[in-house]
Structure 1
Amino acid sequence: MSTITHQQALDKLAAHQLVQVIEDDVASLTSTAMSYAKHDQQMTVAGHVLPLLLGRWNCVLNASDDEASPGYRDKTALALALLLHKHGIAEPAITQRALQAIDNLNAAVALSDAFFRNTDAIKALLSSPALPLKKRPSTRDSLTFLRAQDVIAIQLEQYYYAAYVHEITGFNAYPVVEFYHARFEHRPDMASLQGCTAQGETYNDGKTRISLHAVCGMRHVPDPANQFHLIATGITEKPDQSKLAASVGLHAISDLFRLQGIMRKTGI
């Protein structure tokens, strides 16, 4: 049986943007985890990466057919498994879903003959031991296509949250966002946000202060992970900060994964 590399297998998915966004996420999380693991012997790279990664990409994997087609879900599952394996991480449930995705894609004749001919090689690659990386993976520069005065909805598990984009820092690098103090069971629209105040952060002194976040990773609109959604543009009315104390600094540097902890505190 012939062998295949991770990149060769990924190329046969014919989904360059999807693969690139997943690789950005996996590389960023793996790089951070490898740095932390040097100072914390109780921490594993997989233990850090997997919950945060799935918190984002489950928005595709668990999506309905209206939100993501079966073929897109299968491509996502396979790309996730291949890229995790490439970065030295294997998780049995993800691997099993990827193996099933290969069969689904072949049954639907969704990809090329080259993909079909390499089925056994791709399955063998996924079933082989994932070799831990010896050095931290490189990551791309941050970029965003969001704009100031955009309003976005962000999904995490069964809830949606909303955030206002105050500005874009750098050369289209980071959107600076502020959360509304609200949580929704369905994707909100602007009507849902009427009367919502700004979500602050409570500090050790007991004061709840204005809280802004410059977020890395909000690159594409629409988002290939189906996690964040543009719901309005050109909104001049900002979230009401009148009941919040002054912020500490301009904003905190963050990313889509650090925001998960912030969202879990929002609207509760």
Structure 2
Amino acid sequence: MTHQQILDKLAAKHLVKSIDDDMARLTFDAMCYEKDTEKQLSRILPQLLNRWNCILNADEISNNYKQKTILVLSIILHKYGFKDDTINKKAIDAIDLLNKEVVLSDDFFRKSEDIKQFIISPPISLKRKPSIPESITFYRKGDVISIQLENHFYAAYIHLITRMNESPVLEFYNGVFDKIPTWDDLKDLSAKGEFYNSGIERITRFSVYGLKYLPDTANQIQLIKACVDNPPVNPGLKESVGAYSVINLFKLQSVITKLFK
């Protein structure tokens, strides 16, 4: 039995692809900085869960989708040479819950004990960095989106899409919310700038690679409004240094933390 054979039984093509893409980006980055597998995992897991906890901890998401998500996380971690005992325990419980609800095929039911043993088996560490997935986005110029990070929500306006639909260039609204904001919450807000060491606050925009699916399979990104002609105004902000900063979806977490500290 292989990772892909198990994943194919889950009937969750886009969920699997999205988590696999995320793990490829995170693993590539971790292997650039750390040689030890445990140290790599300590870099990967907090960022991965900041994103996928938007599914696992959400009230509005079906329990079956949550169980599939935790199971895919466990198998994909194993595929990339990692294991987390907490996630693996939840994944084994998820197999029983999915079978109880008769969510998947008879073949999945028959292979359940084999899958459990596969999950707890020692993973094989990668010998070289994985390939970074091709960048593409389904977002468009004029989209206003909400981004969840832990228990807060941040909103951003998409100014343009780079090259051949590779990544959206976004600018944040100056607001922090306890729930997904509405357009009425945002339409009168100004843009959020970044403070430099000089004390000057400048216009700040980010080209975000890995911001792909619409709707987002991880429930982290929500479309608030499309085809908005007017970006947030930025009175008082000085000119930006360069057109925009190039980051990926996971670097965005630290960017948000720094920008809104």
TM tier relative to shorter chain: over 0.9
Counterpart selection for 2:217 from 218, 224, 247: 224
Deviations 1:24-74 (A, max 9, x none): 001110011001115xx798110110000000000001111x2x1100000
Whole-Å separation in 1 of the counterparts to 2:254 and 2:236: 23
Counterpart selection for 1:62 from 34, 57, 61: 57
Counterpart selection for 1:264 from 252, 257, 260: 257
Counterpart selection for 1:26 from 23, 26, 45: 23
Whole-Å separation in 2 of the counterparts to 1:244 and 1:5: 54
Whole-Å separation in 1 of the counterparts to 2:197 and 2:251: 20
Counterpart selection for 1:106 from 70, 74, 99: 99
Residue identity matched to 2:86: A
Matches within 5 A, 1:65-84: 66=60, 68-84=61-77
Residue identity matched to 2:71: L
**Residue 17 in structure 1 maps to residue 10 in structure 2:** no
Which structure 1 segments of 5+ residues have no match?
Answer: none
Whether the 8 Å CA contact 1:160–1:187 is kept in 2: the answer is: yes
Aligned to 2:205: 212
Residue identity matched to 2:65: Y
Whether the 8 Å CA contact 1:37–1:43 is kept in 2: the answer is: no
Deviations 1:78-137 (A, max 9, x none): 000000011011111111111110000000000001111111111011111122111111
Whether the 8 Å CA contact 2:157–2:173 is kept in 1: the answer is: yes
Q: Measured at CA, do residues 214 and 194 of structure 1 come closer, stay the same or move farther in structure 2, by a change above 3 Å?
A: same
What's the Cα RMSD here? 1.4
Matches within 5 A, 1:77-226: 77-226=70-219
Residue identity matched to 1:244: L
Q: Measured at CA, do residues 116 and 43 of structure 1 come closer, stay the same or move farther in structure 2, by a change above 3 Å?
A: closer
Aligned to 1:7: 4
Q: CA deviation at 1:172?
A: 0.5
Q: CA deviation at 1:207?
A: 1.2
> TM-score, normalising length from structure 1?
0.94
2:160 counterpart SS class: strand
Whole-Å separation in 2 of the counterparts to 1:199 and 1:36: 31
Q: CA deviation at 1:138?
A: 1.3
Q: Which runs of 4+ in 1 moved over 4 A?
A: none
Whether the 8 Å CA contact 2:74–2:119 is kept in 1: the answer is: yes
Residue identity matched to 2:69: T
Deviations 1:146-168 (A, max 9, x none): 10011000111111100000000
1:8 counterpart SS class: helix
Using the TM superposition, name which of 230-239 and 15-24 deviates more. 230-239
Q: CA deviation at 1:209?
A: 0.9
Which structure 2 segments of 5+ residues have no match?
Answer: none
Whole-Å separation in 2 of the counterparts to 1:167 and 1:85: 37
Q: CA deviation at 1:264?
A: 2.2
Whether the 8 Å CA contact 1:181–1:266 is kept in 2: the answer is: no
Whole-Å separation in 2 of the counterparts to 1:169 and 1:237: 19
